[in-house]
């Protein structure tokens, strides 16, 4: 990359207004993801007034809420949080796949970064591990991605 210009975002929450849209289904897990995301925002210098949390019934409803928030023009990034655990039927595949596709479509249609912080796990135990506020919290990681993308995209 010698001689190339490299652009990267920063993890600063300054001047970033972020929406967290979160599913209520599997709330024990999703609440921990929200806690991790809010903590990451605060540690990055953010103010609580610069984050709005919107709750929806489940992961399948995340894209439509994210779309409305993105088109509102008030947010520099959106973090979508949820938890879908595989069961005995193909329902998991439909919900997880359409949620991911829908959230990506919102980002592409609006230019607002929409971060996929939806856990898709084989077991509830795997979800608990990924949502732990004392270990690896994917909500916090998702907020980091949102802040980085928001700061990066403001350059153009």
By the 8 A CB rule, do 118 and 80 touch? yes
For the beta carbon of residue 1, count every other beta carbon within 10 angstroms.
Answer: 5
For the beta carbon of residue 20, count every other beta carbon within 10 angstroms.
Answer: 27
Q: How far apart are CA 57 and CA 19, in angstroms?
A: 16
Q: How far apart are CA 99 and CA 95, in angstroms?
A: 6
By the 8 A CB rule, do 138 and 119 touch? yes
| Token pair recorded at residue 137 | 């919290």
Q: Where are the alpha helices (DSSP H) in the chain?
A: 27-43, 62-72, 91-110, 124-131, 138-153
Q: How far apart are CA 78 and CA 16, in angstroms?
A: 11
By annotation, the residues acting in catalysis are: 91
């Amino acid at each position: 990359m010698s001689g190339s210009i490299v652009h990267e975002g920063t993890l600063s929450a300054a001047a970033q207004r972020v929406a967290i849209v979160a599913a209520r289904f599997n709330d024990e897990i999703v609440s921990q993801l929200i806690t991790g995301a809010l903590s990451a925002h605060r540690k990055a210098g953010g103010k609580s007034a610069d984050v709005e949390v919107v709750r929806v019934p489940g992961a399948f409803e995340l894209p439509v809420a994210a779309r409305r928030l993105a088109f509102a023009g008030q947010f520099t990034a959106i973090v979508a949080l949820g938890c879908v655990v595989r069961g005995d039927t193909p329902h998991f595949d439909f919900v997880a796949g359409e949620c991911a596709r829908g959230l990506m479509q919102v980002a592409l249609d609006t230019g607002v970064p929409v971060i996929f912080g939806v856990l898709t796990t084989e077991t509830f135990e795997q979800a608990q591990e990924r949502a732990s506020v004392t270990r690896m919290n994917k909500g916090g990681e998702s907020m980091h991605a949102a802040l980085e993308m928001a700061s990066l995209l403001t350059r153009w």
